Amino acid sequence: MSNDETGDRVRMIVDRDTCIGAGQCEMHDEDVFELDDDVLATVIGDGTLPRDRAAAAADRCPGRAISFVEIEA
């Protein structure tokens, strides 16, 4: 199992006030992000990603709406 799968995961957050519904997040991480009926992203599933994928998702979000926090034990 890679290090990404063993624990260095973070919890994803979407700021729906700044999301512009471009759908980049859903395209790359469909298990974690989904556009809802308002065409705004929402976090689904367990809401976590490996840290490097989380950083990539935040970087590519055109609305700067994606952030992440440490998972509380």
- The minimum distance between CB 71 and ligand SF4, in angstroms, equals 20
To ligand SF4, the closest distance from the beta carbon of 50 in angstroms equals 18
Residues 25 and 67: beta-carbon distance below 8 Å: no
45 binds ligand SF4 (CB under 6 A): no
Residue of 3, 38, 46, 62 that binds ligand SF4 (CB under 6 A): 62
Asked if 21 and 14 touch (Cβ cutoff 8 Å), the reply is no
Contact 12, 25 (CB under 8 A): no
Take residue 61 and report the two structure tokens written for it. 């979000």
12 lines the binding site for ligand SF4 (CB under 6 A): no
